[in-house]
Structure 1
Amino acid sequence: MKQLLIVAHAPSENTRLMAEAVVNGVNHPDIEGIACRWLPPLEATPEDLLGCDGIILGTTENLGYMSGALKDFFDRCYYPCLELKQGLPCALYVRAGHDGTGTCRAVETICTGLRWSWIQPPLVCKGEWDSEFLKQCETLGTTMAAGLEMGVY
């Protein structure tokens, strides 16, 4: 069974709902060969990253940047995983109060350094809260899980 790791910062009710929507998407009834774990960035370890076959990152936009918690995850995991996880399929969703540009650029720069492979452009849920964000996050989870299960990524 392939392992999908979700490392998502969820400091509010809405961002928790977004992370749960990603998990729900991964657990779609038509997908059987994927196990998923959601960990807050401050709890995720290099060992968690080394044990996964794909990763979905979730963050809030904080002053035009990723959350400090997600940055901490990268700081702790970058060098222990650099040579061992090249080509890891990855995806990103951002809960942005503005446009999410700086947040996406920062995360993409780090993931490019890790030589991870993007499965799609980042999902940026921007502006006022919209329940459509949950559907988009669920679709992201299903897309990643289905691709991993079929061996596309």
Structure 2
Amino acid sequence: MKRLLIVAHAPSPNTLKLREAAERGARHPDIDNVEVVVKSPLEAGPDDVRACDAILLGTPENLGYMSGALKDFFDRSYYPILEEKQGLPCALYIRAGRDGTGTRRAVESIVTGLRWKWAQHPLTLRGEWQEEFVGQVEELGLYLAAGLEAGVL
């Protein structure tokens, strides 16, 4: 069985909806052979990354950057997993009140350093809240889980 790790910061009701949507998509009833583990960035660490076969990251845009909680996750995990998890399939969603560019670049920089591979381009949910954001993140979770199960990630 493959394992998908979802590490998403959800400090607001809307970002919690997004994290729940990612999990719902990843746990789609048609997917049988993927275990889904969901953790906040402050709970997740190197051992969780070592145990997964793909990772989905989620963050709000905070002052043009990723959340401090996600940055903390990377600070604690980067060097312990640097040599072990190269090539790990990953994806990212950003809940951006503005444009999300700084947040995306910051996470992309870390992912490049870790030598993870993008399963899909980062999903940036820009501007005022829209309920369609939930469906987009659910689809992203489904895509990653289905790709893991099919062996294409």
TM-score tier (shorter): over 0.9
RMSD (CA atoms): 0.5
- Residue 29 of structure 1 deviates from its aligned partner by 1.2
- Residue 30 of structure 1 deviates from its aligned partner by 1.0
CA displacement, residues 54-109 of structure 1 (integer Å, 9 cap, x when unaligned): 00000000010000000000000000000000000000000000000000000000
Q: How far apart in 1 are the matches of 2:135 and 2:64? A: 24
Q: How far apart in 2 are the matches of 1:152 and 1:62? A: 33
Taking the TM superposition and a 5 Å limit, the aligned residue runs for 1:30-69 are: 30-69=30-69
Gap runs ≥5 in structure 1: none
CA displacement, residues 20-70 of structure 1 (integer Å, 9 cap, x when unaligned): 000000011111110101100011011011100000000000010000000
Q: How far apart in 2 are the matches of 1:127 and 1:91? A: 21
CA displacement, residues 105-152 of structure 1 (integer Å, 9 cap, x when unaligned): 000000000000001111111111100000000000000001000110
User: Structure 2: which amino acid aligns with 1:75?
Assistant: D
Taking the TM superposition and a 5 Å limit, the aligned residue runs for 1:87-126 are: 87-126=87-126
Gap runs ≥5 in structure 2: none
Aligned residues: 153
The runs of at least 4 aligned residues of structure 1 exceeding 2 Å deviation read: none
Q: How far apart in 1 are the matches of 2:120 and 2:99? A: 18
Q: Please give the TM-score of this superposition, normalised by the length of structure 2.
A: 0.99
Q: How far apart in 2 are the matches of 1:121 and 1:46? A: 24
| 1:93 aligned counterpart, secondary structure | strand
- Residue 28 of structure 1 corresponds to 28
Q: How far apart in 2 are the matches of 1:43 and 1:145? A: 22
